[in-house]
Amino acid sequence: MISKPEEVNTVLGQLIQALGASVLTDEASLVEARSDRSGKTSDSSPLCVVEARDTQDVVAVMKIANRSQTPVVVRGGGSGLAGGAIGSAGEIVLSLARMNKIIEISTENRWARVQSGVINQDLNLAAQELGLWFAPDPASRIWSTVGGNIATNAGGLLCAKYGVTREAVRQLTVVMADGEVLRLGHETVKGVTGFDLVGLLVGSEGTLGVITEAIVALKPIDTYPVWTLSASANNIEDAANAIQATIKHGYQPSVFELIDEPCSRYIAEFLEKTPASSGGNMLIAQTDGAGAEALAAQIAELWKSLGLQVQIEHDGEDLLSFRRAMLPALNAHGRVLIEDVAVPISQLGEMLLAIRRIEKEFGLEIPTVAHAGDGNLHPNFIYSEEEVPENIWNAADALFRSAMSLGGTLTGEHGVGLLKRQWLIDELGEAQWNLQWGIKKLFDPKNILNPGKVFDPTNLN
C-alpha cells in the first residue's frame, strides 16, 4: 500500500490507491505478463498487472491511464498466438481473468450474459446443463476467455458449419480509452441501428476498447449421434480435390480437417499409433444433426469415387484426438511457429502446393494442418533457437505472399498482434491501412490501448 502522499503522484501509486491488492508487482506476475503462447517474450517487465474484478475496476484503470497517457495491455487467458497480450516497460497489463462470472443464461433468448474473463469451456459446461452450447471452439478452449475469443475473433474445428466467434456475439460492454462505458450491439437477434460497432470490436485485439461483458448466442444441443469419417490420400492434390468436391456437392460437415503427410507422420510417431485408414494426407470430416448418418455415407461415396481409402466411425473421438495432438507432437521436436493463412476454398490446392514449393526453396519442413471446410491453413515451423530464426521468417513471408496472391489473408484466426504487424499494410494497402488507423485514433486518441500491436505506423515509410 502507498504510505507517502507523493507516491500518489505516480501511476502505480494512483492504481494502488484506487484498486488496492488487485495491483500486482511481484516478480512472478510480471514475468508471466511478458509472454503469451506466440513464442514471443518482451525484453522488459510491465509496470504492474491489475486484476480487475468488474467493469468499474476497468473504468478506474482506464481513467488513470488516460490522464497519465500510460499504455494498457488487455489480457484474458494469455493463450494468444500473435503476441497481442504481452506487456513491457511502462505498460499496465490489465488482466480480466478474474472477471469470470456467468451473469445469466437465458433459455428463452438462447444467450448468455458473461463477464469477459469466463473461460470458454466453463461457459459451455454451464450452458450444457440447460441443453445449450456455445459454438466457438478454439483448441485452447480450456484456457482462453470469451473476451479473448471475441478480441481475436477466434475460430475452431466447428467453424466449418457454425462460423467464427463473430457469429455468436450480440452485445458488448466496452470501456473506452478515456474510461467511458458503452454498450454496443443488441440483446435482440436482429438490430441494425447505426454502424455495426460490435463487428468492429470483434477481432480488435485490445486496440479499440476493453470488452468487460458480452451477450453471446447459444445453440440448442441436438441429440443425434455424430458420424465421423476419415480418408487417406496419396498426394496433396488428391486431398485438395476431395475437399473442393465435397464443398461443390453442397455437403456441410460440422468438422472438416486436413492433416498433411508430414504432420500426420509427426502425430503418429508422438502418439505411437495411427488411426485406421489414415496416414499419408488425411482428411477428417464429422457430420451432425438429423441427417448425420446419411450425409457421412454420401461424403464417403464421393471420396471413394475420387480414389481415397475411406473409413466411417460413430463418434470419431480417436480421430479428433489425433488432430488435436498436432501441437504437442510438433513441440516434442522443438519450439513451433504456428502460421495461420487462409485462402478461398477453391485455392486450397494451390496453397498446399505453394507450401511444398516453399519447403524446397528454404530447405525446411512445413508440416501443415488445415481447417479444410473454411480454407484456413496452419503451416508449422519447428525450430530450436530462443527466437524464430530469420530463415523461417523469410519462409513465412513467402507463405503470406502466396496466400495474398491467391486472394487469401495473413491470418484466418490468430490475429496480427506483434508478429504480423509488418505485413498488415501489404494486405490492406495504404488507403485502407490509413482508414483503419484513423478509426483506431478516433477510439483511442492518445494511443494508450495496446500501442504497437496490430498497427505499426513506421510501416508507412
Ligand X SMILES: Cc1cc2nc3c(=O)[nH]c(=O)nc-3n(C[C@H](O)[C@H](O)[C@H](O)COP(=O)(O)OP(=O)(O)OC[C@H]3O[C@@H](n4cnc5c(N)ncnc54)[C@H](O)[C@@H]3O)c2cc1C
46 is a contact residue toward ligand X (CB under 6 A): no
Residue pair 373/159 in contact by the 8 Å Cβ criterion: yes
Structure letter (DSSP) for residue 18? H
374 is a contact residue toward ligand X (CB under 6 A): no
Single out the residue of 66, 144, 246, 254 in contact with ligand X (rule: CB under 6 A): 144
138 is a contact residue toward ligand X (CB under 6 A): yes
How many residues form the binding site for ligand X (CB under 6 A)?
A: 37
145 is a contact residue toward ligand X (CB under 6 A): yes
> Nearest approach, Cβ of 147 to ligand X (angstroms)?
3
Q: Which of 185, 181, 168 is nearest to 210 (CA)?
A: 181
Single out the residue of 288, 313, 413, 444 in contact with ligand X (rule: CB under 6 A): 413
Which residue in this structure is represented by grid cell 502466396?
A: 402
Q: Burial, 446: exposed, middle or buried (Cβ in 10 Å; 0-12, 13-18, 19+)?
A: middle
Q: Which residue is nearest to ligand X (CB)?
A: 148
Single out the residue of 46, 87, 147, 185 in contact with ligand X (rule: CB under 6 A): 147
Name which of 164 and 295 has its Cβ closer to ligand X: 164
Name which of 45 and 173 has its Cβ closer to ligand X: 173
Residue pair 358/405 in contact by the 8 Å Cβ criterion: no
Backbone angles phi, psi at 111, to 5 degrees: -145, 165
Name which of 213 and 427 has its Cβ closer to ligand X: 213
205 is a contact residue toward ligand X (CB under 6 A): yes
Q: Give the range of 104-112, 148-156, 301-309, 362-370 binding ligand X by CB under 6 A.
A: 148-156
- All three cell numbers of 6, joined, read 507523493
Single out the residue of 71, 76, 280, 451 in contact with ligand X (rule: CB under 6 A): 76
3-state secondary structure of 445: coil
Name which of 280 and 379 has its Cβ closer to ligand X: 379
Give, as ranges, the residues between 323 and 342 that touch ligand X (CB under 6 A): 327
139 is a contact residue toward ligand X (CB under 6 A): yes
Single out the residue of 77, 185, 253, 452 in contact with ligand X (rule: CB under 6 A): 77
151 is a contact residue toward ligand X (CB under 6 A): yes
Structure letter (DSSP) for residue 431? H
Alpha-carbon distance of 22 to 49, in angstroms, equals: 8
Alpha-carbon distance of 410 to 425, in angstroms, equals: 11
Structure letter (DSSP) for residue 5? G
Single out the residue of 13, 46, 87, 156 in contact with ligand X (rule: CB under 6 A): 156
> Nearest approach, Cβ of 356 to ligand X (angstroms)?
24
Alpha-carbon distance of 222 to 232, in angstroms, equals: 30
Q: Give the range of 19-27, 136-144, 285-293, 439-447 binding ligand X by CB under 6 A.
A: 136-144
Q: Which of 319, 333, 312 is nearest to 262 (CA)?
A: 333
- Position 280: which residue type? G
Cα–Cα distance list, 143 to 25, 77, 79, 169, 384 (Å)? 23, 6, 7, 19, 25
Q: Kindly list the residues in this chain that would bind ligand X in the complex (CB under 6 A).
A: 36-37, 73-81, 84-85, 96, 116, 138-140, 144-145, 147-149, 151-152, 154-156, 205-206, 210-211, 327, 413-414, 417, 450
